[in-house]
């Protein structure tokens, strides 16, 4: 399939949805050739005809199609305002009806369980996560305001709990999903989790994703990105984000000097953000294995 999406991860996710839509609404297939031969043992190359086949200037896409002789069909489709050209490779002797009609990320036909897409798995390998302290609550806070939070430490960076002194961590409310006053502003208190990360889904929108049960942050990301509109519940919480963006911070950490694994950046532009909440539970298919999950998601949308 040929399309104009860029290679950035958010665009890959949007492109995947467009691909699934295009495959489901394509025009009838028409034959281009019955005898297209691929001689490589591993793949073919789709080459931009305006570029030369050298390392510096070539623009191409590797097609992971096995060696053999193929019939090639073409079709067109329109998805989300873009025109797509689709090309189908059918090995000699195979039935075109056996080909999938949807892209990765759709449901597996045999089990009807949604699949963790390649794009989501790639994204999961690049995001930073808060892990290692599954009993600590978290703070969603403006990055500048976070410097006023000392967690379990005093102003000099000494562990206040070990010294028997009071600290910021002591004044956290027992209820979750509320606002906590920090300096002149407020932060959103989030529950503890096995792993927490942030996914940017637009220029002024993103989701804080929390995995409570499951094998891998990719399950949490996939479930949050696939949440239906009816899954989201509006809250009364509004977060003010300044020029430096925001953070998700382990509430026991020092906001001025968090360590790796204690903080996740929330790179959203300055503004007021309404927070919506979703509790998600189910299963996804990863490499043929059914993987159950329990996830909590917090969507930030500039108001």
CA distances to 19, 49, 57, 72, 133 from 54, rounded to whole Å, are: 30, 12, 6, 27, 50
pLDDT in tens, 84-125: 788 888 877 666 654 443 333 455 545 457 788 888 888 899
- Contact present, 265 and 235 (Cβ < 8 Å): no
pTM: 0.67
Q: Which residues of the chain have pLDDT under 50?
A: 1-9, 42-43, 45, 47-53, 56-58, 60, 98-105, 109, 111
pLDDT in tens, 172-186: 988 777 899 998 899
280 Cβ neighbours under 8 A, 6+ residues apart: 223, 224, 227, 231, 293, 294, 295, 296, 297
Single out the residue of 195, 209, 200 nearest to residue 245, CA to CA: 200
- How many percent of the chain have pLDDT more than 70? 75
* Domain residue limits, the chain: 9-100, 124-302
């Amino acid at each position: 399939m040929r399309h104009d999406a860029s290679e950035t991860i958010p665009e890959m996710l949007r492109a995947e949805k467009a691909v699934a839509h295009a495959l489901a609404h394509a025009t009838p297939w028409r034959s281009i050739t019955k005898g297209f031969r691929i001689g490589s043992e591993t793949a073919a190359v789709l080459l931009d005809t305006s570029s030369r086949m050298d390392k510096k200037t070539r623009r191409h896409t590797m097609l992971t199609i096995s060696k053999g002789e193929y019939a090639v069909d073409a079709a067109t489709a329109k998805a989300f305002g873009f025109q797509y050209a689709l090309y189908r490779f059918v090995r000699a002797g195979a039935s075109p009806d056996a080909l999938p009609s949807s892209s990765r990320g759709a449901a597996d036909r045999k089990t009807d369980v949604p699949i963790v897409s390649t794009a989501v798995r790639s994204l999961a390998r690049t995001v930073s996560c808060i892990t290692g302290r599954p009993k600590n609550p978290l703070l969603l806070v403006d990055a500048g305001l976070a410097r006023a939070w000392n967690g379990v430490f005093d102003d000099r960076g000494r562990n206040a709990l070990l010294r028997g002194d009071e600290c910021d961590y002591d004044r956290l409310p027992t209820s979750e999903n509320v606002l906590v006053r920090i300096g002149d502003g407020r932060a959103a208190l989030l529950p503890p989790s096995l792993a927490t990360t942030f996914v940017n889904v637009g220029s002024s929108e993103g989701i804080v994703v929390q995995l409570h049960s499951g094998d891998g942050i990719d399950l949490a990301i996939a479930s949050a990105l696939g949440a239906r509109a009816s899954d989201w519940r509006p809250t009364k919480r509004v977060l003010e984000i300044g020029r430096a963006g925001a953070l998700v911070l382990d509430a026991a950490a020092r906001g001025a000097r968090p360590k790796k694994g204690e903080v996740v950046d929330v790179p959203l532009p300055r503004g007021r953000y309404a927070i919506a909440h979703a509790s998600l539970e189910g299963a996804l298919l990863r490499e043929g294995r059914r993987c159950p999950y329990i996830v909590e998601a917090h969507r930030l949308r500039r108001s």
